[in-house]
Amino acid sequence: MFSPQPLRNGETPSPHPRISAPHFHSTLSAQKLRRFNSLILLLRLLAFCFSLSSSIFTLTNSGGPGSPSWRDFDAFRYVFAANAIVAVYSLLEVTASAWEVLKSATIFPEVLQVWFDFGHDQIFAYLLLSAGSAATALAQTLREGGDTCGSYSAFCLQSDIAIALGFLGFLFLGFTSLLSGYRVVCFVINGSRFHL
């Protein structure tokens, strides 16, 4: 049975369609894969929006001379750096996901793409959580210990919002990591099956 072969690993389309089992490349499977990739795209877009917002909220959290600035606190600098890194990464991944949804092909070779996505999702989820936790501890100390939050409540409020946005970014990146982990498992299984 001949079926349209989706492009894999940046392959150029072959003039001779290969014979394949209907089970793997049916229209139903292609539709499911498309829906799955669209969900990943949506989650990556949300992770991008929240991490970008968090980094912007942190970056603009400075009330001018005399008032505290986010640059004075290591944990807030950590939040900014982590969220900025994740925003850049998410933007690249949004492009890759959109490409995959539109062209049904991965930008990099498939094996590299699935492992790259999963590995980086995991590492960056850890990074965001770590930054968020550190900043939460600092924000709580500022609120309880000193008079920073008494005199400059806007600074503390903006910090809280930035931290919350970062945690939301972590949440969506964590969900994406689950899906990209599932993709790795699927690839490992299908990869083995193609060799059978």
Binding residues for a copy of itself, per CB under 8 A? 74-75, 125-126, 129-138, 140-141, 145-146, 181, 184-185, 188-189, 192
Residue (41 or 148) nearer to a copy of itself, CB: 148
CB of 85 to a copy of itself, least distance (A): 16
Which residue, 129 or 161, is less far from a copy of itself as judged by CB?
129
Report the alpha-carbon angle 98-179-48, nearest 5: 50
Nearest distance from C-beta of residue 119 to a copy of itself, angstroms: 10
Q: How far is the CB of 192 from a copy of itself (least distance, A)?
A: 6
Displacement of CA 9 from its chain's centroid (Å): 22
Cβ 125 to a copy of itself, closest distance in Å? 8
Q: What are the start-end ranges of the E strands in 7-76? A: none
**In angstroms, what is the minimal distance from the CB of 126 to a copy of itself?**
6
For a copy of itself, the closer of residues 12 and 192 by Cβ is 192
The nearer residue to a copy of itself, 40 or 139, going by C-beta atoms, is: 139
Q: Would you say the C-alpha torsion 41, 118, 36, 47 has a positive or negative sign?
A: negative
SS3 string of 78-139?
HHHHHHHHHHHHHHHHHHHHHHHHHHCCCCCCHHHHHHHHHHHHHHHHHHHHHHHHHHHHHH
φ and ψ at residue 188, rounded to 5 degrees: -60, -45
| CB distance 172 to 84 below 8 Å | no
Q: How far apart are CA 160 and CA 163, in angstroms?
A: 5
Least Cβ distance, residue 101 to a copy of itself (angstroms): 25
Closest CB to a copy of itself among residues 41, 82: 82
Shorter beta-carbon distance to a copy of itself: residue 86 or 94: 86
